[in-house]
A and B are shown apart, each in its own frame.
Chain A
């Protein structure tokens, strides 16, 4: 599976949009971009995934560049409960997920 690069930490003001970037320049054509988050001392939670097109669900939006070499997870109105480590993972669906260190997002009141 392709490797991803994320900033180690980010801050966001409560109520503002949180934009979390991810680089995956070696992504293959059959690989999806997945986002999970992990709140302290809990199991990771699935957020969203996409292949080529932008995706939106009740939790977030995923913007994938046209060349698919990078993506951005958008939390439109961040709350304190969104404070967590966010993992960007590239995976074909046929193999186990490989986790990096993710981005630690701190939402500040």
Chain B
């Protein structure tokens, strides 16, 4: 079954801890993206990658890090430097100049 998979669906983190969100796709898409969504707001771009071993910062990259070692995978690490990490995180992928497919999201809560 082709698609984009995010895990886990819910994640709880203690203050000061780093946490990594997983995003995997089997659509053979070159580009992958991470967005953050706060309640009642639209999606904001954190990082994106258009090719393996390369990625660019989005509008709100501070406190986050990513890697793109494989075409299928684009994990996002929320570091302790991110002051307000509680949010809904969405991963997406696309071919160049084509529509994007989104995962079902990870809801991160700091406890």
Q: Which residues of A contact B (CB under 8 A)?
A: 34, 36, 41-46, 49, 87, 92-94, 96-102
Contacts and interface: CB of A to CB of B under 8 A. Distances in A.
B96 A97 contact: no
B74 interface: no
Contacts of A43: 90, 92, 102-105
Q: Is the interface of A mostly helix, strand, loop or mixed?
A: loop
B42 A93 contact: no
A93 B92 CA distance: 14
The 7 A-B residue pairs with the shortest CB-CB distance in the complex, in nearest-first order:
A93-B97, A43-B102, A99-B42, A99-B43, A46-B99, A44-B102, A96-B48
28 contacts: A34-B99, A41-B88, A41-B105, A41-B107, A42-B105, A43-B90, A43-B92, A43-B103, A44-B92, A44-B100, A45-B102, A46-B100, A49-B99, A87-B42, A92-B97, A93-B96, A94-B96, A94-B97, A96-B33, A96-B58, A97-B33, A97-B43, A99-B35, A99-B43, A99-B44, A100-B42, A101-B40, A101-B42
